[in-house]
Amino acid sequence: MPYFERDVEVLIDSATLQARIVELGKEITRDYQGKDLTVVGIMKGSIFFMTDLAKAIDLPITLELMGVSSYHGGTETTGEVRISFDLTKPMHGKHILIAEDIIDTGLTMKFLLENLAARHPASIKVATLLEKPARAKTKVPIDYKGFVIEDKFVVGYGLDYGEKYRNLPFIGVMRSE
């Protein structure tokens, strides 16, 4: 029995995830033809999504990473957003696509959008694998959305519980929920 079966129930299986990411990649490819696109992955949760999304975009892209969090180890947001790792290149004049694992309260994304806008990019758009609208505290634009989910604590495919379960190839719900 795999280690996770007692703890995690599958919500979105791997094949469904991959199919949707390929669709998003096609949309992004179409929308960014002829533009200098930089995909900014938000660590750590978006790493799997950003990697697969980047492979699905049929353009010469640049990848950047940014560490931002409002959870600080728990399952509830503190509301305080912190940058733990910043971009390594200037974003002035670049077309930025933020790749995020999940948008729930919107507070982290609002902070990110304001922070990146101050760097004077040509444009900023948002791609998120998951949206959890029931928890929204602020409205943020989502240009490319994988799935809308209910208000459940999810793990897998980069999302964690206590830094564990990120390596699951699917999105799951903790059975203790």
Active site annotation includes 160: no
* Ordered DSSP codes for the chain: --TTTTTEEEEE-HHHHHHHHHHHHHHHHHHTTTS-EEEEEEETTTHHHHHHHHHH--S--EEEEEEEES-TTSSS--S--EEEE--SS--TTPEEEEEEEEESSSHHHHHHHHHHHTT--SEEEEEEEEE-GGG-SS----SEEEEE--S--EEBTTB-BTTBSTT-SSEEEETT-
Catalytic residue (choose from 7, 31, 58, 104): 104
Q: Which residues are catalytic?
A: 104
